[in-house]
Structure 1
Amino acid sequence: MSSNAKIKRSTLPGIPGTKPATSNAQLLVSTGIPSLDQFIGGGLPIGSILLLEEDAYNTYSKIMFKYFIAEGIVNNHSIFLASQDTKPSNILSDLPAPVSTEVPQAKSISTDKNDEMKIAWRYQNMKVCDSSSKDVSVFGHYYDLTKTMESATLDGADVTKWDGENIELKSVVFENQVYMDLLLSIEKTIKEGNFFVSQEVKKRNILRICISSLGSRLWLCDSEEQTNKDLLKFLYMFRTLLRESFTVAILTVPVHNYNDHSTGVIQRIEHLSDVVIGIESFVGSTKETNPVFKDYHGLLHIKKLPAFNTLVCHELLFSDLAFKLRRKKFLVEVLHLPPELGDTTQREQDEVPTVGCGKSSSGHKLDF
């Protein structure tokens, strides 16, 4: 009976677009950038917050934000999209199209007598595997920035939009009422979609919560002190919702709006998040014209990694990470500087090897 029970448990269908972590069996989802998943421990744990500290012109952080949404739609995850800076409908219409994983169908093995000697005899009766069908179990996809996602795919996706308009609720918890309205909208979406851990459902799914430019100029209060308080209170309450549900969130924050380090707002935001990634773009900086960084578009600073069901977080083996944007890939890799050749090659050729233990180049066999 025990062996049969094990077989049945192993054949149970999992949640699409997820996989268990090898270290602690924590359920993970992809960020939409497979190369980034490798550096943060395989993916984002369920119930975690990914904080993207926007680059100066919000170029590459916006692309990573769209990748996260597109990955959820491809895996049929539910999406909660919130933004005050850009209309959520405009963000959805500009999502990149997934790169097709279809490959040409392999040529069938001919059974003609004239072709019998072209292959080994033991492969003649082997069944041909059709690899043209899509593999729905793929964890992490690639996307083509030159193409947008098909409208039919977007129409079939479960997306809840929030733009901060038509707010009627008045709360004493926040001075800026959009924070309370956003929290209630998120809680309502989690409850109605049966994403809470306490809710029993036949088939589980994941809710991806995507909030763009949280804490930007459109989220300000009358005073800087109250603005900081509202932002931190929202993150405290938002974090509680995530820990009790099958959700994962991505936040982009314009950290350049908080230049005053004496308040420690950015440090506290990073503390409340589970994965923190800073994006340093080369656009407008001296590194853009530096030949050392000619193969990259910016640096990626992983400031914090998650620690779920463990006492220590995933170990980051490399601290010098860079990214480069290609038409069909957003690649994150270890920064490799070009070799300093210059006069080194010529210098090595000009050097005359000394003989023996001395420094002179005399004709003696042994020079002491």
Structure 2
Amino acid sequence: KRSCEEGPALVFRWRLLLGYGPSVCQDEEDKYSIYSNLLFKYFLAEGIVCGHNLFVASAKEDPADILKELPAPLFDDAHKNQVNEKETAIKSKQESQESMKIAWRYQNLPRIEVSPAASARIGHYYDVSKMVSPELLQSTKWHRFFLPEEMSLHPEIKTCNMTCGYTRLLQSIQRIIYREGFDGSYPQKKQKNILRIGIQSLGSVLWGDDICCTDNPEDIYSLTKFLYVLRGLLRMSLSACIITVPAHLIQNKAIMERVTNLSDTVVGLESFIGSERETNPLYKDYQGLIHVHKIPRLNSLICDVSGTKDLAFRLKRKLFTIERLHLPPDLSDTVSRSSKQDLAESTKLLRSGCGAMAIGKKHLDF
């Protein structure tokens, strides 16, 4: 389950993230690569449900094991309606309990919609507590690229200041595109289909790249050259690609700027695990924040920047949801005096628009 903003343009941008169109989506990994791998698996699971072909590439985990851990889709409409009714009941109960705590000056203001209307929801529903069935995997046509196997089967090569792992990966993607008929310049022999490409932890040491180890890597343009060639392959083929990048390990910020410029969609995940926000009452209902750094814009030479800065995600027992984060109207009952300074700083960063004004540096004045 994914939540997106209202409006046809923003729905189209999130469709690119799900893989409906030729694009490169960069997913900046969180510190422990927990939730970024979950989005990575959502992308692949959506391809299985839609009947798309898959290409899974990894340097640390066998692609077969990745597919076995994909979340199970929910095809039962009755079960989906039951989940929606349960969430609606919980939301109405919370609203009734909070109605007595809302200050009089905010009671008549419109409430912030956390989730969009049902018509804006796209894609399918998935149960993260269950794995995809083996029967569904057998009916899916997929291709694999496991770097340790490729390195043992082929001699090491290095061309155009690009690591051997990147070169082998590009050759494998190009071979699949032309062999399976995904080349957009020629009509497909069979019914038209889409190739979904998933590349895990690109830029890590396992790929033979040293951009995560030093501020001055040996091949500083190796990753950017790979992305430049990959974009060319995707532009002339019926394919979409999602890449997870350990951005928190890349010390050279100039490299990350180039990687961002070579991607159509860039989304960063900030997990609360091991940070001060894990115990902050402001984020008690969420597991992390989502930062939309770049989204595609049609018929324009410049990229678009999302106007929504306060997106957060939560992982429930069965569902992974993306919602709008907003401050509670009354902080006196749930927040201690010592933590109000942190909440004031968070208010400025999130631009919640709750109408609060920070007076001084130690407390909030409503």
Taking structure 2 as the reference length, what is the TM-score of the superposition?
Answer: 0.70
Asked if 1:179 is matched to 2:170, the reply is: no
State whether residues 293 and 337 of structure 1, in contact with CA within 8 Å, keep that contact through their aligned partners in structure 2.
no
Segments of 4+ moved more than 6 angstroms: none
Unaligned runs of 5+ in 1: 1-32, 105-137, 344-368
- Kindly provide the amino acid, as one letter, of the partner of residue 249 in structure 2: N
Name the SS for the 1:85 alignment partner: coil
- Who is 2:55 aligned against? 80
Among 294, 319, 324, the alignment partner of 2:309 is 319
Shift of the 219–300 alpha-carbon distance from structure 1 to 2, 3 Å rule, reads same
Letter of the 1:162 partner, please give it. Answer: F
Aligned residue among 284, 290, 307 for 1:294: 284
- Mean alpha-carbon deviation: is it higher for 171-180 or for 76-85? 171-180
* Structure 2 residue 235 is the aligned partner of structure 1 residue 247: no
Equivalent residue letter for 1:253: V
Amino acid at match of 1:322: A
Aligned length: 277
More displaced 10-residue stretch of structure 1: 308-317 or 89-98:
308-317
* Residues 167, 181 of structure 1: 8 Å contact kept: no
1:62 aligns with 2:29: no
Sort the Cα spacing of 1:144 and 1:37 in 2 relative to 1 into closer, same or farther, 3 A.
farther
- Closer/same/farther in 2, CA of residues 291 and 141 from structure 1, 3 Å limit: same
| 1:259 counterpart residue number | 251
Partner of 1:337: 327
State the Cα RMSD in Å: 2.3
Looking at structure 1, the residues matched to 186 and 156 of structure 2 have their Cα atoms a distance apart, in angstroms, of 27
Q: Which residue of 297, 315, 330 corresponds with 1:307?
A: 297
- Secondary structure of the residue that 2:274 maps to in structure 1? coil
- Aligned counterpart in structure 2 of residue 140 of structure 1, from 111, 123, 133: 123
Offset at residue 327 of structure 1 (A): 2.6
Q: 1:160 pairs with 130, 134, 143, which one?
A: 143
Alpha-carbon distance, 1:320 to partner: 1.1
Amino acid paired to 2:32: Y
- Between 1:270-279 and 1:172-181, the stretch displaced more is 172-181
Query: Shift in Å at residue 70 of structure 1?
Result: 0.4
Distance in 2 separating the partners of 1:185 and 1:249: 14
Counterpart selection for 1:205 from 193, 201, 207:
193
CA distance in 2 between counterparts of 1:76 and 1:252 reads: 23
User: 1:169 offset after TM fit, Å?
Assistant: 6.2
Deviation at 1:175, TM superposition (A): 4.7
Cα pair 2:165 2:208 within 8 Å, conserved: no
Indicate conservation of the 8 Å contact 1:167/1:178, yes or no.
no
Does the residue aligned with 1:324 lie in a helix, a strand or coil? strand
Instruction: Give the match's secondary structure for 1:225.
Output: coil
Structure 1 residue 268 and structure 2 residue 258: aligned?
A: yes
1:135 corresponding residue in structure 2: none
Q: What are the ranges of 5 or more consecutive residues in structure 2 without an aligned counterpart?
A: 80-120, 334-366
Task: Tell me the residue number matched to 2:228.
Answer: 236
Q: How does 1:347-362 map to 2 (within 5 A)?
A: none
CA distance in 2, matches of 1:142, 1:97: 9
Letter in 2 for 1:144: D
TM-score by length of 1: 0.70
Whether the aligned pair in 2 keeps the contact of 1:55 and 1:281 (CA below 8 Å) is yes
Structure 1, residues 237-265: CA drift from partner, whole Å, max 9, x if none?
Answer: 0111011111100000001221233xx00
Deviations 1:207-253 (A, max 9, x none): 00000000111123478533432111111101110111111000000
Residue type matched to 1:172 in 2? T
SS in 2 for 1:268: helix
What amino acid sits opposite 1:211 in the alignment? I
Return the letter of the residue paired with 2:293.
K
Q: CA deviation at 1:341?
A: 4.4
Which is higher, the Rg of structure 1 or of structure 2? 1
Paired residues of 2:15 and 2:122 also in contact (CA < 8 A): no
Letter in 1 for 2:155: E
- The structure richer in helix per residue is 2
Give the alignment of 1:188-199 within 5 angstroms: 188-199=175-186
Contact 2:73/2:127 (8 A) holds in 1: yes
Q: 1:221 to 1:278 in 2, by over 3 A?
A: closer
Q: Secondary structure at the match of 2:297?
A: coil
CA-to-aligned-CA distance 1:320-368 (integer Å, 9 cap, x gap): 111111233221111112222428xxxxxxxxxxxxxxxxxxxxxxxxx
1:315 CA drift (Å): 6.4
> How many Å apart are 1:80 and its aligned residue?
0.4
**1:70, 1:277 → 2: CA distance?**
19
Aligned to 1:20: none
1:214 and 2:202 aligned = yes
Query: 2 CA distance for matches of 1:259 and 1:243?
Result: 30
